[in-house]
Amino acid sequence: MTYEDLAAGDHFYRGVLGLPLIEDQGWAKVYRIHGSAHVGIVATRRGPVIKPVGSGTLLSIVVEDVDAWYENLQHEPSIEILGPPALVADIPVYSFFLRDPGGYAIEIQAFTDARAQQRFGHISGQINSSHDGCPCQSDDADCRS
């Protein structure tokens, strides 16, 4: 994702969301979401991406407590919250959306049905720590099954 103001993007992902910075190449930064899941940001006019900032990108972050994230982010001046948490029609998701300092849409979400919680919770290590039914039977949240 490209940013006109890379420092604002860094503050959002590292300072506001609390994601650890694992690679800093100056004009490109990579943050760990969980396990082997990462998100990267790049300074505009650097690297191979020639796209307008914020164009057509939605980052969904699965969390355990959507309401707690909403409350924590309410007064963060670097973002725009686009509405309160709500159930999404036709799919088992409870979420809210915000716009980060670079103009990107971010969805903070949780799954509302037990099967999806188990699938995504197992991958993210956030929602349901049970590994019942996983073919790998691993205690490692970084399961690739």
- The domain spanning residue 21 has which CATH number? 3.10.180.10
28 is a domain residue: yes
52 is a domain residue: yes
pLDDT score recorded for residue 10 = 96
141 is a domain residue: no
118 is a domain residue: yes
35 is a domain residue: yes
Burial of 78 (0-12, 13-18, 19+ CB in 10 A): middle
133 is a domain residue: no
Q: In whole angstroms, what is the distance from residue 29 CA to residue 8 CA?
A: 12
> Is the Cβ–Cβ distance between 32 and 22 less than 8 Å?
yes
Three-state DSSP class for residue 115: helix
Count of C-beta atoms within a 10 Å radius of residue 134: 14
Tell me the mean pLDDT in the region 62-72.
90
pLDDT score recorded for residue 38 = 83
> Is the Cβ–Cβ distance between 114 and 8 less than 8 Å?
no
**Which domain does 111 fall in, by range?**
2-124
How many domains does one find in the chain? 1
pLDDT in tens, 84-138: 999 987 778 899 999 999 888 888 988 888 877 776 654 443 433 333 444 434 4
Q: Nearest to residue 6, comparing CAs of 45, 44, 52, 50?
A: 44
27 is a domain residue: yes
100 is a domain residue: yes
